[in-house]
Amino acid sequence: MKTADIETSRLIIRSMSLDDAAIAWSFWGNPKVAKYLGDPLYKDVDELREVISDIDDWKDEYPFIAYHKETGEPAATCSVGQEGAPDTWGFGYCVREDLWGKGYATEIVKALIDFAAAHGIRKFQGTVAQENIASVRVMEKVGMTFDHASTFRKKGTDNVYASAIYKMSL
Ligand SMILES: CC(C)(COP(=O)(O)OP(=O)(O)OC[C@H]1O[C@@H](n2cnc3c(N)ncnc32)[C@H](O)[C@@H]1OP(=O)(O)O)[C@@H](O)C(=O)NCCC(=O)NCCS
């Protein structure tokens, strides 16, 4: 398993393990948070635990939970890893709903870019639903630029979202 801790001004971002399934589900099981994610809305923590049962063997992705330094509480889930071309990494991020709009996602993605750069990565790609304005804004705020439009289907549903692909090279 790939493990790492990343520290930002307000967060400690720790590698996620199967033991963290209940924390992850508190994000990914929330319909409002999960709306624009490519993964389905998991019906309960057991279903999620099954899906991530091999998390310790993931080779191409670092999954994390971000804890607030002041409160110790989980503030976000996030991940970084290979996306698209073999030399390109992308991100996933979900911030706890009561913390939206306070700059946490931007803080996280900037830290993930630094983390990837320390691993020799120079190219980044982000895929966001065009109607997910907050996430589009996060891409812009970390320095990514719009590359092209596409679509993605939310797994396990008929929901197809118009998406925007953002890119950046260091
Ligand atoms: C998308 C998400 C991660 C953003 O997290 P966050 O911590 O609120 O993001 P930040 O505070 O760093 O930045 C959000 C930006 O979007 C802006 N924003 C949010 N909603 C907006 C709206 N409806 N219209 C215009 N701007 C909006 C905020 O004002 C902020 O920009 P600013 O700093 O220029 O004012 C969060 O909303 C979330 O977890 N959503 C559910 C999961 C998700 O969609 N993940 C991304 C999948 S690609």
Using DSSP, state whether 146 is helix, strand or coil: strand
Domain membership flag for residue 162: no
Range of the domain at 65: 5-121
The pTM of the full predicted model, rounded to 2 decimals, is 0.96
Please check whether residue 45 lies inside any domain of the structure: yes
Ligand 1, residues 95, 104, 161, 165: which to mutate, most atoms within 8 A of Cβ?
95
What the block records as the tokens of 141 is 């705020």
Give the pLDDT of the chain (170 residues) as one tens digit per residue: 566 799 999 999 999 999 999 999 999 999 999 999 999 888 899 999 999 999 988 888 999 999 999 999 999 999 999 998 999 999 999 999 999 999 999 999 999 999 999 999 999 999 999 999 999 999 999 999 999 999 999 998 999 999 999 999 99
Nearest CA, atom 48, ligand 1: 128
Residue 116 inside a domain? The answer is yes
On whether residue 140 sits in a domain, the answer given is no
Q: Is residue 56 part of a domain?
A: yes
- State the total domains in the chain: 1
Spatial CB neighbours of 131, under 8 Å, sequence gap ≥ 6 = 36, 161, 162
CATH at 97: 3.40.630.30
